[in-house]
């Protein structure tokens, strides 16, 4: 009852707030300038606030990340994209990466400039009796004056799941602000994320899914545990610009000195009230319960000097040089979570003498410093070609000898009323393995490794041709990795001597007519090794009608389907939150069909929809596994709405 009251109050506050802020006359069109940061350099974009109407029913944190994912079947779960080139790494902790899609980091924050305050609130819910889920989000941005902007985002998500020990919830968001003066600019942000999810280890008997007389909540699972993840970050990017005045009296920066402070704290915890005696092989610290912690505090300070593109009037490119100091603190020890006076603490463990205790004491808190230098050449203005090439190398510290060299180029051409864009990207990296891959101590796992550096080479290209009736985009990516590290079975990490090659072709082809639209997304993948399992073919198709009724209501009525070929998908190790390679059971070769009706009321800027998810679960053979042992949720009705306010 208390949770329901909390949700109602939160929804009421977030509904009233934007109405109070933006209570004047609504206008049908608003354009907002925004910036995001790549390598601490602002990349400008333009947002049309009305553009988010189409496909609202399909938007959630998992689908927005990738059309196919490895996860526990519920809406909140450690997650890895099954599409190799969609995988992300927002932090330098392997324990934080599975939560990337829920993590709002500084690189996800957009800084805005608008003369009209803008806010939005959205809510959708899955309607089942015992397995409901809720998704609530709020966004606001507004200028205090022509140079100063502030804003905030917040998202609350909880999902009970359809199977035992599967529920999860998360709250994340950001507070941000910017000042863009002629000579001085400042961008700052604070982001937060708090997530918890139960871990069930999957079904004890995957064949239970075929039993039509058994409810999903009654199917026995392999584990009763819980994981928690917390991420906090602070970001400050400020600069002084020396300018020159152009012939039309515009101040243009020619030299910039920039300081960037970037801090984040990522903390992963794993708890078992009763230490599992069968799921895991070992219990090193406590035979009765498990409380593991792995945390990374990362502090970056960078000084950058940039000769802007306007400095070079003939060749029109800019040059940047920088120095970066990185300070890190790693914590990976179960012992601090136990009280010395607790009955559950293993009293027989001699903390002063055993080699295990010495290892854990050393690993409990480890500080390190790394010093990097780097430089870049870039061209980000102009109508035809833009490029950036940069490199960075570590000169001092644990990461001594690590380097990263990367570049990208993009070109645009007019073809009648339409335009053709071509892009290419490449990187070469020699990476020191994650600290937690080298050293880790917990109740179920102990290791000290001396892994070699990981060498990665990637090259990719993209061609896009959006036209009035047909939009086509093709991406091709290739990567080769030497000394790759992976998890096999429920064991410690391993490093392979073989070279792993991955190739991907990613095609989107969308057909638009006055009445019927067909969106297609097709991904082909090839991996040379079983340690990078990927489906050969992944398909997504969305067929829908789109029209305007009575000049006031936009309607989208459609059906979408997702499918992938069978492959040896990895499964989840709950204690580590890592995805484990296996060659015993294939998943896939099963479609997921949804039907939906989506509407937009123009006058009041209101979206609302209803969707029947996983329709085919009612009449097809139950083979809907995301990973071995982990089935996805069965059919469910979902409905939602979204308001947008701007004046």
Q: Which residue has the higher pLDDT, 396 or 20?
A: 396
Question: Taking the CB of residue 274, how many other CB atoms lie within 10 A of it?
Answer: 11
Question: In this structure, what DSSP letter does residue 416 have?
Answer: T
pLDDT mean over 10-32: 39
pLDDT digits over 618-627, tens only?
Answer: 888 888 999 9
Answer yes or no: are the C-beta atoms of 581 and 487 closer than 8 Å: yes
9-23, 141-155, 198-212: which has the minimum mean pLDDT?
A: 9-23
Residues 6+ apart with CB under 8 A from 163: 73, 74, 200, 203, 216, 217, 219, 221, 631
Q: Which residue has the higher pLDDT, 369 or 11?
A: 369
DSSP secondary structure string for all residues of 201-218: -SBS-GGGGG-TTS-GGG
pLDDT mean over 473-497: 93
What is the rounded distance in angstroms from the CA atom of residue 403 to the CA atom of residue 361? 31
What is the rounded distance in angstroms from the CA atom of residue 604 to the CA atom of residue 51? 15
pLDDT mean over 83-106: 95
Confidence band (pLDDT; 50, 70, 90) for 288? Answer: confident
Element containing residue 235 per DSSP (H, E): strand 225-245
pLDDT of 382: 73
- Over 80: is that where the pLDDT of 72 sits? yes
pLDDT mean over 527-550: 95
Q: Which residue has the higher pLDDT, 113 or 200?
A: 200
- Over 50: is that where the pLDDT of 29 sits? no
What is the rounded distance in angstroms from the CA atom of residue 460 to the CA atom of residue 456? 13
What is the rounded distance in angstroms from the CA atom of residue 282 to the CA atom of residue 444? 5
Q: Are strands 31-38 and 41-48 parallel, antiparallel or unpaired?
A: antiparallel
Q: Which residue has the higher pLDDT, 132 or 388?
A: 388
pLDDT of 340: 33
Q: Which CATH superfamily is domain 2-646 in?
A: TonB-dependent receptor, beta-barrel domain (2.40.170.20)
pLDDT of 463: 95
Domain ranges of the chain: 2-646
pLDDT of 509: 95
pLDDT of 78: 95
pLDDT of 17: 39
pLDDT mean over 401-429: 91
pLDDT of 100: 95
pLDDT of 129: 57
Q: Which residue has the higher pLDDT, 184 or 489?
A: 184
pLDDT of 346: 39
Cα dihedral 380, 381, 383, 384 in deg (nearest 10)? -40
């Amino acid at each position: 009852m208390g949770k329901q009251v909390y949700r109602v109050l939160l929804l009421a506050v977030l509904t009233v707030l934007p109405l109070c802020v933006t209570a004047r006359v609504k206008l049908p069109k608003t354009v907002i300038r925004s910036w995001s940061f790549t390598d601490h350099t602002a990349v400008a974009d333009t947002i049309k606030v009305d553009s988010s109407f189409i496909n609202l029913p399909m938007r959630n944190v998992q689908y927005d990340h990738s059309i196919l994912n490895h996860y526990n079947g519920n809406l909140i779960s450690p997650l890895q994209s099954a599409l190799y080139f969609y995988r992300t790494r927002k932090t330098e902790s392997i324990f934080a990466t599975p939560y990337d899609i829920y993590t709002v980091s500084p690189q996800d924050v957009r800084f805005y400039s608008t003369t009209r305050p803008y806010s939005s609130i959205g809510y959708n819910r899955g309607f089942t009796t015992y397995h409901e889920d809720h998704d609530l989000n709020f966004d606001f941005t507004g200028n205090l004056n022509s140079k100063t902007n502030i804003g905030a985002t917040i998202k609350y998500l909880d999902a009970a799941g359809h199977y035992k020990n599967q529920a999860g919830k998360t709250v994340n968001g950001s507070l941000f602000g910017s000042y863009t003066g002629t000579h001085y600019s400042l961008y700052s942000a604070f982001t937060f994320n708090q997530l918890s999810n139960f871990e069930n280890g999957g079904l004890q008997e995957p064949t239970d899914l075929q039993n039509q007389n058994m409810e999903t909540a009654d199917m026995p699972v392999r584990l009763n545990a819980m994981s928690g993840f917390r991420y906090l970050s602070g970001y400050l990017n400020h600069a002084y610009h020396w300018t020159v005045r152009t012939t039309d009296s515009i101040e243009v920066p020619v030299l910039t000195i920039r300081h960037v402070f970037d801090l984040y704290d990522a903390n992963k915890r794993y708890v078992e009230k009763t230490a599992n005696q069968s799921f895991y092989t070992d219990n090193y610290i406590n035979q009765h319960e498990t409380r593991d912690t792995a945390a990374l505090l990362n502090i970056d300070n960078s000084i950058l000097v940039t000769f802007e593109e306007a400095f070079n009037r003939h060749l029109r490119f800019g040059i940047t040089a920088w120095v970066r100091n990185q300070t890190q603190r790693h914590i990976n020890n179960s012992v601090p979570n136990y009280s010395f006076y607790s009955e559950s603490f293993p009293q027989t463990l001699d903390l002063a003498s055993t080699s295990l205790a010495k290892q854990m004491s050393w690993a409990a808190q480890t500080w390190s410093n790394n010093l990097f230098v780097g430089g870049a050449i870039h061209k980000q203005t102009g109508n035809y070609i833009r490029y950036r090439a940069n490199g960075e190398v570590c000169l001092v510290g644990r990461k001594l000898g690590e380097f990263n060299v990367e570049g990208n180029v993009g070109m645009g051409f007019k073809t009648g009323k339409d335009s053709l864009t071509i892009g290419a990207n490449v990187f070469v990296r020699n990476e020191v393995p994650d600290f937690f891959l080298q050293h880790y101590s917990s109740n179920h796992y102990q290791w000290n490794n001396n892994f070699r550096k990981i060498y990665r080479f990637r090259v990719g290209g993209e061609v896009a041709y959006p036209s009035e009736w047909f939009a086509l985009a093709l991406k091709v990516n290739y990567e080769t990795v030497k000394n790759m590290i992976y998890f096999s079975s429920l064991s410690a990490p391993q490093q392979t001597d073989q070279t792993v090659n991955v190739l991907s072709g990613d095609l989107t082809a969308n057909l638009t007519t006055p009445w019927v639209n067909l969106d297609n997304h097709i991904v082909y993948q090839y991996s040379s090794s079983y340690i990078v399992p990927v489906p050969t073919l992944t398909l997504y198709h969305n067929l829908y009608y789109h029209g305007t009724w009575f000049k006031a209501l936009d309607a989208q009525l459609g059906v979408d389907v997702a499918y992938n070929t069978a492959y040896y998908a990895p499964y989840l190790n709950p204690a580590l939150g890592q995805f484990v390679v296996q060659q015993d059971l294939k998943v896939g070769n099963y479609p997921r069909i949804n039907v939906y009706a989506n509407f937009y009321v123009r006058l009041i800027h209101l979206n609302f929809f209803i969707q029947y998810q996983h329709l085919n679960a009612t009449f097809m053979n139950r083979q809907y596994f995301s990973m071995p042992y982990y089935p996805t949720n069965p059919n469910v009705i979902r409905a939602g709405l979204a308001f947008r306010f701007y004046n």
